[in-house]
Amino acid sequence: MDYLSWRTVGEAENDLRRELDPETFALVSRAARAAERWHGDQKRPTGEPYTVHLLEALEIMVRGAGVTDGEVLAAVLLHDVVEDTPVTLAEVEAEFGPVVAEYVDWVTKPPAASRKDKRAAKVSYLRRLRDAPEQAIWIKLADRASNVQTLANMPKDFRQRYAAETTIYVMPLAEGHPFFGPWFAAWAGSGAGQGL
């Protein structure tokens, strides 16, 4: 159930070189290096380098869901750059094209002025994803699957809130998908879905 074997871009590239055609590999490798550059020394709440989360989401997409579309895989690696770094959507588009930028745009939460506004904006964003192209939904599902794998390391109140949000808003997006549907069902059935 866990996808945590790619800890560095180099480790991912070693495997991806065998799993992707050369053109797709080149695009994904370029996106991985851009994500590494743009996120810099950013850390996740777990204390790990930010890129570990991006590589987990990529591994889930490739090895779990079996996705080999280069633009989707590039967007998985870049899905947080607009939200969490100074990089703009225009910069993503200039470097990776309009399709990758569109996917990144769909999964980027809008900024909010206050904590209350942040919660409302997040719910609105999660609801809006129902209208997203299926590829953008897959990116969100891979992102969330990565995040819930490390949820046990977070404070209990956050775990419970995040698990509830995942169950209410994200799991319905996975329904009917041959990989993500069963994966999230297994996650919820393990007790993790209650944020325990």
Q: Is 136 helix (H, G, I), strand (E, B) or coil?
A: helix
Q: Is 167 helix (H, G, I), strand (E, B) or coil?
A: helix
Domain boundaries, the chain: 9-194
Q: What is the separation of C-alpha 81 from the centre of its chain, rounded to a whole number of angstroms?
A: 11
Write phi, then psi, for 49 (nearest 5 degrees). Answer: -55, 145
Confirm or reject CATH 1.10.3210.10 for domain 9-194, answering yes or no: yes
pTM confidence score: 0.92
Question: pLDDT of 28-79, one tens digit each?
Answer: 999 999 999 999 999 988 788 999 999 999 999 999 999 999 999 999 999 9
Neighbours of 15 (CB within 10 A): 14
Active site residues: 83-84
Question: pLDDT of 83-122, one tens digit each?
Answer: 999 999 999 999 999 999 999 999 998 887 777 777 788 8
